[in-house]
Amino acid sequence: MPQQPHSNELNSTWCLIFFAWLIAAGSTLGALFFGEVMGLAPCTLCWYQRIFMFPLAIILPLALFPLDTKVVRYALPLALLGLGFAIYHWLLQLGIIPASASPCSQGSSCSEVSAEWFGFLTIPLMSVCAFAAINISLLATLIREKP
């Protein structure tokens, strides 16, 4: 007879998915704030990152009531791909990847720094941190659910 998970295990799993949703929702609102309120036009790589972040803000809370840990199957690929684009964008901005490798052809430049806080915190770095936190949370959920 399979053993039922303890309520503490369910609570911590719920919290991991909730944390991932908070990061995704905050990132989505932040991206909309930068674009619509501050008037910073998103570059091509920013749009790609939005394509992977925005659905997470919708998918993750749907898995909370009732708790559905299978959401990791759908959310983790989005978060991993988003992290890949965010890292590429950040490395491009740092100059590690040459500007000639930028996909931006019109509008905002992917390699230029349009906003910077504390002398190092840029929008692509915030995206890397957000996607990394979501990935860690989702991977922890996946590990907890393995028998």
- The CATH code of the domain that includes 31 is 1.20.1550.10
Report residue 45 as tokens: 């790589």
Please spell the DSSP secondary structure of 81-102, one letter per residue.
HHHHHHHHHHHHHHTSS-GGG-
pLDDT at site 116: 62
Residue 46, token pair as written in the block:
């920013």
Hey, is 118 helix, strand or coil? coil
For the entire predicted model, the pTM comes to 0.85
| Dist. CA 109–CA 93, nearest whole Å | 10
Domain hosting residue 55, numbered range: 7-100+109-145
Q: Is residue 31 assigned to a domain?
A: yes
The DSSP letter of residue 35 is I
Asked whether residue 86 is domain-assigned, the answer is yes
Alpha helices in 1-97 (DSSP H): 7-32, 44-62, 71-94
Q: Report if residue 74 sits inside a domain.
A: yes
pLDDT tens digits for 9-49? 668 899 999 999 999 999 999 999 988 898 888 888 889 99
Is 61 part of any domain? yes
Q: b/e string for 98-129 if b means 16 or more Cβ within 10 A?
A: eeeebebeeeeebbeebeeeeeeebbbbbbbb
Closest alpha carbon to 35 in 93, 131, 108, 132 = 108
Three-state SS for 145?
helix
Regions of the chain short of the pLDDT cut 50: 1-3
- In the block, tokens 């809370």 appear at 61
pLDDT of residue 117: 57
User: Is-cis flag, bond preceding 66, omega within 30?
Assistant: yes
Q: Is residue 2 part of a domain?
A: no
Provide the domain count of the chain.
1
Residue 90 lies inside a defined structural domain of this protein: yes
1 domain-assigned: no
Give the pLDDT of residue 11: 85
